[in-house]
Amino acid sequence: MASPLPGYASHFGIDNLPFGVASSAAHRFPTCVSRLEDTVIFLADLNGAFKDVEGLPDAVFRQRYLNDYATLPDSVHQKVRYQLRATIRAGLPESSTEHISAVTMLLPVSIGDFTDFSCSLDHVLNASEAATGTRAAPPSFFHQPVGYAGRCSSLSISGTAVQRPLGQYWEGKPRQSDVVFGPSRKMDYELEIGCIVGRPISRNQPIMADQAEQHIFGYVLVNDWSARDIQVLEMDPLGPLNGKNAGTTLSPWIITRLALEDCKTASPPRQRHVAPHLSYSGHDTLSIDLTASISKSTDGTSEITCRSNTSSLYWTLAQCLAHQAIGGAGLRTGDLVATGTVSGSTEQEHGCLFEYVQDQSAAPRGYLEDGEIATLSGRCTEGIGFGECVATLIPATSLDV
């Protein structure tokens, strides 16, 4: 993994204080960290700053993953947040800090399950038009969040390259051409946000949407890379499978639920009444400004291809958790649940390139080329942002036959 570059200092003010896992030349073993501007804080080196936090296990910040910390109650998280702020203001020990450019960020939690939902009405309408020529939502969309189970072996941290996958797809128009095998010709990014489960939900334990938020530790940016040609063939009639298995990139910093308490707004109007477990106040939707851009590694030029906001999502992640729990599977600490593509109502708010298929005249560009870099970013207010979620698309492997 490449070291993250500076440039997002304004995202990480003292009201943010996210959590991640990092290592460096001076800190050889991965441990839990936080960030203030461009300074990474190695939490285990704060000389007993948290010794008076009742309920905080010893050496919890020396662990490789944040799971044991994420599962602790809000009361502990709030006290740690308070103590960290106090320690920053008093002056951090020099041995506990490094510049962001000197560290290597790693996956911050051990993720046992990954579910990708489709929460954006604008996205499903745009995708339907791109695929069929007709703007229509799936029959179940207004009744419940719809989603699929992803593959955790494909998850990687920001900065990890994604390889163009091999697979089968229609050579031309679906159902009107031969099926061929080769490298995907239609690689796409998806601009998403995801939540990390903190306190687990036991099997067969139903919860309400307004309770589910208490089980969210924090949020990350998600790029669920998509091989659109492979996906189209396998989703007739099931899938997706290999169309989504090339890679899913996560941003390295978990922005805690506590940090985003003031980043809420009203949801879009409901089309119909929902089942009791999906009911909520209607004012619990996160408002996060998101951008997607594509750059070329050869010349450094960059073009912004999307600007959208999570407030347009029809379903919240709390509703997604409640919906998944009602099926009986339960949720474990570290599980990742994502929104699916976050799109808005205008052409500038298409959260993936696939949405432009029907109207190529409006498309900012074609599908991704080898060597191109997809960068996602998100920001709520001054001092509270997500930094970047970035990955380079590299050529497919050769298959000796």
pLDDT along the chain (401 residues), means of 10: 68 98 97 98 94 95 98 97 97 96 98 97 93 90 94 96 97 92 97 98 95 96 97 89 96 97 91 90 89 84 92 96 95 98 95 85 85 97 97 92 57
pLDDT at 6: 53
CA dist list (Å): 115 to 147, 230, 267, 334? 7, 20, 22, 12
CATH for the 114-394 domain, from 3.40.50.1820, 3.30.2130.10, 3.40.50.800, 3.90.850.10: 3.90.850.10
Question: What's the predicted TM-score (pTM) here?
Answer: 0.95
For the 9-106 domain, the top CATH level (class) is mainly beta
pLDDT digits (tens, 9 = 90+) for 84-118: 999 999 999 999 999 999 999 999 999 999 999 99
pLDDT at 394: 97
Q: Which of 144, 149, 148 is nearest to 277 (CA)?
A: 144
Catalytic-residue membership of 99: no
Please state, as a whole number, how many other Cβ atoms lie within 10 Å of the Cβ of residue 303.
11
pLDDT at 298: 63
* Intrachain domains 9-106 and 114-394 with the same fold: no
Q: Which of 11, 77, 123, 323 is catalytic?
A: 123
pLDDT at 282: 75
Measured CA to CA, the distance from residue 120 to residue 128 in angstroms comes to 12
Measured CA to CA, the distance from residue 340 to residue 190 in angstroms comes to 7
pLDDT at 280: 84
What's the mean pLDDT when you consider all of the chain?
94
pLDDT at 390: 97
pLDDT at 3: 53
Q: Are 54 and 45 contacting, i.e. CB atoms less than 8 angstroms apart?
A: no
Map out the domains of the chain as residue ranges. 9-106, 114-394
